[in-house]
Amino acid sequence: MIEYIKGDIAEITPAYIVLDNNGIGYFVNISLYTYTNLQNNKSATVYIYESIREDAHVLYGFGDKHERELFLLLISVSGVGPNSARMIQSSLSPQELESSISTSNVSALKAVKGIGAKTAQRIIVDLKDKIKAPTDTLTIKIPANNEIFDEALAALVMLGFSQQASQKVLKKLLSDTPGLNVEDVIKKALKMM
């Protein structure tokens, strides 16, 4: 089991990071939250969850252990796999996720693409006793508008949405509310897809 990978950031998008560790490039799926925290760094330590299937070994990475713990809790819920958990963590920050679970906010979880009412309720029932309400807040840096569009588009395509539909949604979002940062644009886009 891999605990973490520490290395230079060879490539980073809102959906994945490539870490160069001693000449080996590790392709690691990340959430939007991890991307926001690592996007301006030259190197990083990413905590790993390794999903081993018959056809692939897939790495999921997190900027801190707390986010990984939330991911592990999410995938412990019946019906929530690693990709669904990553989608939840890309739509909700750890604080928003903990708050949604601790306050039984089904609608916040249902707003995530691919999460229905039954799954949202199951997440709350299974995890309410394991999660404590959040106390700290997240600050986000705001890049230029073209960067936001490009990064959000790349993230949506990596998450499995078509490029044309993603472009349409992003253009509408950025024209209606131009002051949004990448994370907020992707969160709102995920709710509109």
The structural domains of the chain, ordered by start, are: 4-62 (2.40.50.140), 68-127 (1.10.150.20), 145-192 (1.10.8.10)
pLDDT of the residue at 133: 57
Supply 100's token pair: 């949604």
21: β partners = 24
pLDDT tens by residue, the chain, 193 residues: 899 999 999 999 999 999 999 999 999 999 999 998 998 899 999 999 999 889 989 999 999 999 999 999 999 999 999 999 999 999 988 888 998 998 998 988 988 888 999 999 999 999 988 886 554 444 333 334 577 888 888 888 888 887 778 888 888 888 787 778 888 888 888 888 7
DSSP class of residue 159 equals T
pLDDT of the residue at 179: 77
Contact partners, residue 100, CB within 8 Å, separation at least 6: 92, 108, 109, 124
